[in-house]
Amino acid sequence: MTISITVNGKRRELDVEPDMPLLWVLRDELGLTGTKFGCGVAACGACTVHVNGEAMRTCTLPVDAVAGKEITTIEALNGGGPTLTSLQQAWIDHQVPQCGYCQSGMLMAVSSLLASNANPSDDEIDAAITNICRCGTYPRIRAAIRSLATV
């Protein structure tokens, strides 16, 4: 049985087990390694992508649950073009990443937050962004988000 999903605008027909988590479909079947494996239990957020525009953790998300849906990964956060999004540019301007491993998931989570709330308060940021960064880039993440505030 094939499962059909749309990843970064491209329709993909997959011959995989329906319960294979989307994370491993992306990484091992489609070669999109920007989405990271961190915990396998949806506790750290390293595997966050957008499913129909909503941030979702993919390490426990069966691929058949997203059949027919639009998936966007870090590789296409900027639409796949040559220009970074203002969010990605803010990450560079604030020198946010250290080891960088969690940052794909961070950026996907933050872009989803900003899409629904362009000017989140500190409390709203705290509540929405629960991804783990072991390098402790949080002060810079907060500063980068605040720099994008529209007010």
Among the residue ranges 43-51, 64-72, 111-119, the one whose residues contact other proteins (CB under 8 A): 43-51
Using CB under 8 A as the binding rule, whether residue 6 contacts other proteins is answered as no
Residue 66: name the closest of 90, 91, 39, 30 by CA: 30
What phi-psi label fits residue 42: left (phi over 0), alpha (psi between -120 and 50 degrees) or beta? left
Binding of other proteins by 114 (CB under 8 A): no
| Binding status of residue 95 toward other proteins by CB under 8 A | yes
Strands 3-7 and 70-72: parallel
Q: Which is nearer to other proteins, 46 or 51 (CB)?
A: 46
29-37, 50-58, 64-72, 111-119 -> range binding other proteins (CB under 8 A): 29-37
> Between residues 68 and 80, which has the closer beta carbon with respect to other proteins?
80
Is 21 within 8 Å of 2 (Cβ atoms)?
no
Q: Is 77 in the site for other proteins (CB under 8 A)?
A: yes
Q: For residue 50, which of 78, 31, 28, 29 has the smallest C-alpha distance?
A: 78
Look at residues 118, 21, 6, 116 and name the one whose alpha carbon lies nearest to residue 68.
Answer: 6
Residues found near other proteins in the complex (CB under 8 A):
17, 20-21, 24, 27-29, 31-41, 43-44, 46, 73-75, 77-78, 84, 88, 91-92, 95-104, 107, 125-127, 129-142
